[in-house]
Structure 1
Amino acid sequence: MGELKGLKLAQRHGKSRVRVARVWKDGDGKHHFAEWSVNISLLSDCIPAYITGDNSDIVATDIEKHSPTVYAKAKECSEQLSAEDFAIVLAKHFTSYYQQVTAAIVNIVEKPWERISIKGQQHDHGFKLGSERHTTEVMVDKSGILRMTSGIEGLSILKTTQSGFEGFIRDKYTMLPETRERMMATEVTASWRYSFESLSSLPLKPLYFTERYMDVKEVLLNTFFGPSKEGVYSPSVQATLYEMAKAVLGRFPDISFIQLKMPNLHFLPVNLPSKDNPVIVKFDDDVYLPTDEPHGTIQATLSRIRSKM
């Protein structure tokens, strides 16, 4: 922060979209793989660069410096680690190595490379690209204070029944019919904050955050779909979103809040004329017109209420 004649300046600078891939090899010949897109933002005491043009306190973010730093740190991580842990490694480096840097924010998006199976057996070094992406943002300051969020982007899910929408406000412009039988589809974006507030409070278990990411995704999916045979009825996207968020907080005490964005991707029922019946062929929950524009936007954040006692 800086002040100049009654003004306050907040600033950061860094490097975006540094791409790195890392392979780890087990002693038994099994390979593990991760591909990350890394964004780095540095908060530093370089106010003179803004107000007087003095660049002497700027940590340059040229590609010759930050990209090799990311690659060097990836090389130093000889054991497989999560995107969250790699973000912490980078943030700790920049806050400890440079006197001017007061805090570092590292954002990572992990590509969804998944191990393939051949004839029911997992391949030692074969992977395919999935869909949803694992995200994280970590902020670390010089004192070791930590703020960490993780999330999911692009999780497209759909169920062909067990969904409805009725009892909503109607006016002269409302065209949407009420129904207890419709298709429900959305693309989930989720972000959750961990309750760890310092580097010293982090769990020591290897790949802890990778496992937590997979577990949160499983809870979200299980809540959305319900049991395999009968499913679970959804009276609205809003109600399902709330149940999904509540299930995550109920299952994981180390998550303090979760935000979910779930646009309502529409599949519109289609009634068709036919040769034998030129008037109409009645829709029977079987033929739809897919459309994602325009779509409903639904999002909410559910958080724990901290006791003041």
Structure 2
Amino acid sequence: MAREEHQLEGLNFEQRHGKARVRVARVWRDTKSGNHYMVEWNVSISLLSDCLNAYVRDDNSDIVATDTIKNTVYVKAKECTEQLSAEKFAVLLGTHFTSFYKQVTAAIVNIVEKPWERVLIDGQQHQHGFQLGSERHTTEAIVKKSGGLQLTSGVEALSVLKTTQSGFEGFVRDKYTALPETRERMLATEVTASWKYSYEYVSSIPQNPLYFTQRYLDVKKVLVNTFFGPPKGGVYSASVQSTLFQMAKAVINSFPDISAIRLKMPNIHFLPVNISSKDNSIVKFNDDVYLPTDEPHGSIEATLSRFWSKM
């Protein structure tokens, strides 16, 4: 992680400043086709800069005002006359701040893209109509003055569920264990994933302005397809851990420019309902009626990376 660190009166001092939750929507209009394209981004920026005097001498002459940072987001969005990915916009902002201000040594830009999707009317894409989806596209670009780059993308709130082809057996049993073993259960989770690209310099990233948008869609497709398996029959999951590893490995094997992926997959439980009656008999619903629960839930996460890479 980039940092701005100083020795101060025998102590270490680290600082950064910026603007968080800058919300910006950008619309592009294609005059030939009549189609409109839009994104809504929530942008947060932290600058690592040599402005120590502001902290210790009441001298603000080296501070880039956070209001200026906010305004820059809007100006740069306006200057983007063609569609571009959230990743490209993050790199563009980071490059601006590190090149425009001599005291800024690095910029950390985080963007969360709201999932607006084009509406289908009678099977046809609407020219300017959009509806809100569910999962969110995320990115972080750390841009250094030298042009060095750390770029990650991700997805949040990707909810997936399958009603069969899941079990959990052979786990540790002791006096605290009440969970029965099973080869038949529902499996539900809300995937949070982040993956690191291998590009180490701003100059090395693909020039296609929508490259990372397509890569995001492709990674999401691999994650989902691996979770569910083939349309007929699916694929058996021996545990959330096993499924998580298969999903991570599929992404690493599918995309050479992704060097590491981190997955967080809570086990959101659907508990089979059994009802006790007055005569102590049990009404068992035989895996067809469940109690959905949000908490407590199992917490499973892991990182898979190529041997030379770290998240």
Q: Is TM-score (shorter-chain normalized) higher than 0.5?
A: yes
Structure 2: how far apart are the matches of 1:272 and 1:125? 51
**Structure 2 residue aligned with 1:171:** 174
Q: CA deviation at 1:128?
A: 0.4
The CA deviation at 1:29 is 0.5
* Alpha-carbon displacement from aligned partner over 1:118-143 (angstroms, at most 9, x marks no partner): 11111111110000000000011111
The alignment's C-alpha RMSD in Å is 1.5
C-alpha distance in 1, partners of 2:6/2:274?
64
* Stretch of structure 1 that moved more, 254-263 or 202-211: 202-211
Partner of 1:132: 135
Partners of 2:88 and 2:209 within 8 A in 1:
no
Between the aligned partners of 2:269 and 2:198, the Cα distance in structure 1 is: 36
Q: 1:195 aligns with which of 198, 201, 205?
A: 198
In structure 2, the residue matched to 1:47 is 52
CA distance in 2, matches of 1:85, 1:181: 44
Of the candidates 13, 16, 33, which is equivalent to residue 20 of structure 2? Answer: 16
1:117 maps onto 2:120 in alignment: yes
Report the equivalent of 1:61: 66
TM-score normalised according to structure 2 size = 0.95
Query: In the alignment, is residue 289 of structure 1 matched against residue 291 of structure 2?
Result: yes
Does 2:19 correspond to 1:5?
Answer: no
Structure 2: gaps spanning 5 or more residues: none
Aligned equivalent of 2:100: 97
Q: Supply the AA of the counterpart residue of 2:94.
A: A
Structure-2 separation of matches of 1:270 and 1:86: 49
Q: Which residue of 2 aligns with 1:37?
A: 42
TM-score under structure 1 length normalisation: 0.95
| Structure 1: segments with no counterpart, 5+ residues | none
Q: Residue deviations 1:28-53, cap 9 Å, x none?
A: 10011100000010000112222333
Out of 154, 157, 161, the position equivalent to 1:158 is 161
What is the CA-CA distance between 1:284 and the residue it aligns to? Answer: 1.2
Seq. identity, %: 72
Distance in 2, matches of 1:41 and 1:306, equals 28
1:164-220 Cα distance to aligned partner (Å, 9 max, x none): 000000111111100000000000000000000001111112300000000000000
1:75, 1:225 → 2: CA distance? 41
Alignment of 1:68-83 (within 5 A): 68-83=71-86
User: Quick one: distance in 2 between partners of 1:69 and 1:153?
Assistant: 27
Out of 287, 302, 305, the position equivalent to 1:303 is 305
Q: 2:275 aligns with which of 272, 275, 279?
A: 272
- What secondary structure is seen at the aligned counterpart in 2 of 1:71? helix
